[in-house]
Structure 1
Amino acid sequence: MAYKLNKITIRTDNSNEGIKNIENIWKDIVNGKLPILFDSEHVFQQGISPVSKYSNYSGDENGDYDLTIMAVTANFFQKMDAEVSKGYYKKYDEKDEYGEISVCTRNAWKKVWSEQKMGDIHRTFTADFESTVPSEYTKDGKAHCYLYVVIQ
């Protein structure tokens, strides 16, 4: 009987070691070792997207936090966009023409940290969400990072 995980959580930080741990978790998810995108028999799960949730911050982005990678359906994004329209979240959409997910993800977070430093946004550090989409799954052929950051 096949099984799948709905989510997995690790405690990490933004140190080099923490980033390496995040990369390793993602590799295990993409290759099916952790059955979130695939079930335990390596069958791809249709209609789901992996989303990173950053929560339980010990302070700000410089401290420890929980990273939860979870399987969501399309209605998750509709709900998040509704939260953006209510002013609870700010949405960032960064893309890379060359299909490099790491580039658009890094650029999205740089924007957040810059706006935070300038005082343009005030983060609550409660629950932020990130969805990256490889270029082969987008209509425009570019890699995308959608970032939802909780603001006051």
Structure 2
Amino acid sequence: MAYKLKEVTIRTNNSEEGMKKIDEIWDDISSGKLPILFDSEHTFQQGISPVSRYSNYSSDESGDYDLSIMAVSVDFFQDIELAVSKGLYKKYVEKDENGDIGVCARKAWEKVWAEQKSGEIKRTFTKDYESSVPSKYTKDGKAHCYLYIAI
């Protein structure tokens, strides 16, 4: 009998060690070791996308937080876009011309932190979401990152 996980959660932070933990969990998901994108028999799950949820912040981006990798359907994106239209979240969209998903995500987060520092946004540190799309899954061959920051 095949099974799949709806989400997996780790406690981490933005330190070098924390970033290594994040890379490791993504490697386990990408390889199918953790059955989020694939079921336990390594069958790819059609119609789902992996989304990162950042929650349970101990303080702000400098402290510990929970990172959950979730398997979501198109309904998730419709719901979060509705939350953006209501002013509950701010959406950030970045891409990397060279297809590097890590560079793409860093660009988006740096924009968030700059706006936070300048006072342009006030984050609530409740639940934030990230959807990063590797270049091999995009029409333009560029990596894309979508951040939804609770404000």
Q: TM-score, normalised by structure 2?
A: 0.99
Gap regions ≥5 residues in structure 1:
none
The equivalent residue for 2:125 is 125
Q: Distance in 2 between matches of 1:59 and 1:114?
A: 18
The equivalent residue for 1:7 is 7
Q: AA paired with 2:22?
A: I
Query: 1:137 deviation in Å?
Result: 1.1
Query: 1:85 deviation in Å?
Result: 0.5
The equivalent residue for 1:74 is 74
The equivalent residue for 1:24 is 24
Q: How does 1:39-118 map to 2 (within 5 A)?
A: 39-118=39-118
What secondary structure does 1:144 align onto? strand
**Runs of 4+ with deviation above 3 angstroms:** none
Query: 1:59 deviation in Å?
Result: 0.5
Q: Distance in 1 between matches of 2:103 and 2:74?
A: 24
1:104-138 deviations in whole A, cap 9, x for unaligned?
10000000000000000000000000000011111
What secondary structure does 1:94 align onto? strand
What secondary structure does 2:82 align onto? helix
Gap regions ≥5 residues in structure 2:
none
The equivalent residue for 1:134 is 134
Query: 1:76 deviation in Å?
Result: 0.7
Query: 1:141 deviation in Å?
Result: 1.7
Aligned residues, how many? 151
Query: 1:140 deviation in Å?
Result: 1.8
Q: Distance in 2 between matches of 1:67 and 1:111?
A: 20
Q: TM-score, normalised by structure 1?
A: 0.98
Query: 1:72 deviation in Å?
Result: 0.1
**2:38 aligned with 1:38:** yes
